[in-house]
Amino acid sequence: MRLLRRLLRKDREDGQATFEFALLIPLFILAVLLVVDGGIWMYKFVTVSNAVRDTARYASVNCGGNTCDIGALETRLEQSSSGFVTCPPPTAPDPPDCQIRWIDRGAGDSGDVDKGDSVIIYVNQKHDLLFFPVSVGVASCAEMRLEAANGESVGSGGC
């Protein structure tokens, strides 16, 4: 008789915890996936920013008097970014992911890249999230003045 009364009671709470768990687990999984996607995006952003800054520093120390060509700097950028940045040829149908420019800041416009001129490296590309159909931007820009004069290199390595 007691069992029958217990089964017929209307204020039973036997499945409440399971029901609440079933309601909240999709939100928990969504939050975890967002954290994972955000972490991967942040890793890519930091890697690209460091690669842009490293390539700009390399160009400012080692590229005076037209001793470096843009192709060598693009290769260095691609390698130091762990493959996140790809520099297509300028004739590609899509806009280039990376741009490397020299700005002549000298008094005379000799057309040469001299000490005191600037190198600007700009990268802009999209990052597709893994778990969501959204693309977010990854952009970085670095400008550094050339420290080397015509054809010379600054420093001999070491600290």
Q: What is the pLDDT of residue 39?
A: 94
The answer to whether the Cα torsion of 43, 46, 50, 53 is positive or negative is: positive
Please tell me what DSSP assigns to residue 15.
Answer: T
For 20-64, how does the pLDDT look when each residue is reduced to its tens digit (9 = 90+)? 999 999 999 999 999 999 999 999 999 999 999 999 999 888 876
* Structural domains counted in the chain: 1
Q: What is the pLDDT of residue 50?
A: 95
Assigned domain for 21 exists: yes
Assigned domain for 99 exists: yes
Assigned domain for 156 exists: no
> Which structural domain range is residue 92 located in?
15-145
Assigned domain for 57 exists: yes
Exposure string for 99-123, b = 16+ CB within 10 A, e = fewer = bbebeeeeeeeeeebbbebbbbbbb
pTM: 0.75
CB 121 within 8 A of CB 70: no
Assigned domain for 50 exists: yes
Does position 96 have pLDDT exceeding 90, yes or no?
no
Assigned domain for 49 exists: yes
pLDDT winner (highest mean) among 4-13, 83-92, 132-141: 132-141
Count of alpha carbons within 13 Å of 21, Cβ hemisphere only? 4
Does position 101 have pLDDT exceeding 70, yes or no?
yes
More confident call, 61 vs 13 = 61
Question: Could you give phi then psi for residue 99, rounded to 5 degrees?
Answer: -130, 135
Assigned domain for 152 exists: no
